Amino acid sequence: MRSLAPKYLTAMTCMAISISFASIVQADDAASKTINIAIEVCAGCHGVDGNSLVPTFPKLAGQQKVYLLRELTDYKTGKRVSETMAPFMESLTLEDLPHLAAYYAKQKPTPGIVSNPSLLGVGKTLYLQGNSKTDVPSCESCHEPDGSGSGKFPRVASQHTEYALDQFRLYATGKRTNGARVMKAVAERMTEEETRAVAEYMASMP
Amino acid sequence: MNRTLLSSVLALMAGVIFTSQAAHAEFKQPHAAGIETYGYAWNSPDQDMNRALAHAADASKGEAAYKVCKGCHKPDGSGLADANYPQLAGQHASVIIKQMMDIRAGRRDNPRMYPFSGEWIVSAEEIADIAAYLNKLPPPTTNGKGNGYNLPRGQALYLKDCVSCHGKAGEGDAKKFYPMVAGQHFSYLKRETRESRDHGRRNASPEMVKVLKNYSDADVEAVSDYMSRLKTTR
């Protein structure tokens, strides 16, 4: 119970920020319901335009629509589990999700933050070629050479390194259970250092 | 003594309960009966395979679907000799379909590739499309070769034992699901030939296993080297 407390705190902080956003931006009748949801429910953590400022929360701006919809649906149905996301998903209906996915897909992502440029070289090689010694395929084959992703393969360019590293860990330990078969194998085969290098390289891509 | 036994049984039970409750994803390749099983029939009917074979394959769709493969097998299908990733360019579509389905079903053990081969990432129809795409790619001639020390021996073995199925130029037979061996990486041919001999390649043809039974490691190497240097006329 003790260990859960910080997560609820985070969630409550996000909610508080969302409410303050909502009072600033008064959506008029013309504004779509989707923008209202984005502002009232999501913006506290993910930013109004999906460019989250908190590095543990993923950037959604410019994300692949198909991927976003799958993730939102999986959160809603419990296939992807997150204590942080759960209370927010409760206020959304399945019908809201395609509109939200389309909204974030249209937003312009801000540049990512590279914290350790010395890892970029290793990261680039891994991203483009993989590591055949440990059967790690290249990342670019699914996520595209520019990191833009396509369809169900998410955009990884300019993503927060903290979020990316969290996902590598969750995949490797079997705790991210949706869409995980491929990425679990990849994450399991990578060293901690390799995941750091790739995360830095992904953040460096515009 | 009894107490120790009891506590270890309890610990074991607790472990079982804990493991079964943990919501962790474990994705293991299934294990299906293969050559080690009495009554094994090579290339017996398979629903997944029939779906792929019945599909009107579209090579251009296959090019797009191939993306999940090219991270290892490379954009030109040439694989990687050092890593034993087979060369796939120009391979018969039927062969690619059969091998993929054998891996999906667990008749061919391949824990390295299994996560990238299942229906969660490619459908049976997409596999047919990918196979059609790969079949159209020109086989590269820069494939990995052996040391060339024992080619006459390799040739003699090939002409005696292999040519009737795999063809004079190593072209294989699409209709019979026999792979093209020409231009394949030596390292891959050597491993697969050896594994077939030793029943490690569990989806191997019993006829081939019989032929390979008395092959020494040197024979395997010689015939693999010879095959890696064959060129098809395509």
**DSSP string across A180-206:** HHHHHHHHHHS-HHHHHHHHHHHHH--
Q: What percent of chain B shows pLDDT beyond 70? A: 88
Alpha-carbon gap, residue B139 to B182, rounded angstroms: 9
Q: A17-21, A76-80, A115-119, A184-188: lowest mean pLDDT where?
A: A17-21
Average pLDDT over residues A52-72: 97
For testing contact with chain A, the best of B27, B117, B187 (most A CBs within 10 A): B27
Q: Which residues of B touch A140 (CB under 8 A)?
A: 71
> What residues are paired with A153 via a beta bridge?
A150
ipTM: 0.85
Of A142, A173, A179, the CB nearest to B67: A142
Query: What is the pLDDT at residue A157?
Result: 98
- Which DSSP letter does residue B117 get? T
The per-residue pLDDT for range B135-167, each reduced to its tens digit, is 999 999 999 999 999 999 999 999 999 999 999
CA–CA dist B85, B71 (Å, integer) = 11
> How is residue B14 written in tokens?
């607790």
The residues in B 67-96 lying below 8 A from A, measured between CB atoms, are: 67-72, 80, 82-83, 85
Residue among B24, B72, B120 minimizing CB distance to A137: B72
Assess contact for B79 and B185: CB atoms under 8 A: yes
Tell me what the mean pLDDT of segment B21-32 comes to. 75
Shortest distance between the Cα of B68 and any Cα of chain A, in A, equals: 6
Q: How many CB atoms within 10 Å of residue B39?
A: 5
Q: Are B154 and B216 in contact (CB under 8 A)?
A: no
Residue with tokens 């350790």: A116
What length does chain A have?
Answer: 206
Residue-wise over A120-139: b if at least 16 C-beta within 10 A, else e? bebbbebbebbbbeebbbbb
Residue A179 has a pLDDT of: 82
φ, ψ for residue A156, nearest 5 deg: -120, -15
Q: What is the 3-state secondary structure (H, E, C) of B137-177?
A: CCCCCCCCCCCCCCHHHHHHHHHHHHHHHHCCCCCCECCCC
Residues in A closer than 8 angstroms to B28, CB to CB, are: none
pLDDT (tens digit, 9 = 90+) per residue, A20-37? 555 445 444 434 789 999
Cβ distance A181 to B115 less than 8 Å, yes or no, reads: yes
Give percent of chain B with pLDDT exceeding 90.
86
Closest CA to B157 of B216, B198, B207: B216
The DSSP output letter for B57 is: -
Asked if A137 and B71 touch (Cβ cutoff 8 Å), the reply is: yes
Surface-to-core class of residue A34, CB atoms within 10 Å of its CB (0-12 exposed, 13-18 middle, 19+ buried): middle
Question: Are the Cβ atoms of B72 and A130 closer than 8 angstroms?
Answer: yes
Set out the domains of chain A in order of their start, with CATH numbers: 1-206 (1.10.760.10)
- Name the residue facing A182 among B23, B82, B121 (closest C-beta): B121
Handedness of CA A134, B34, B86, A168 (dihedral sign): negative
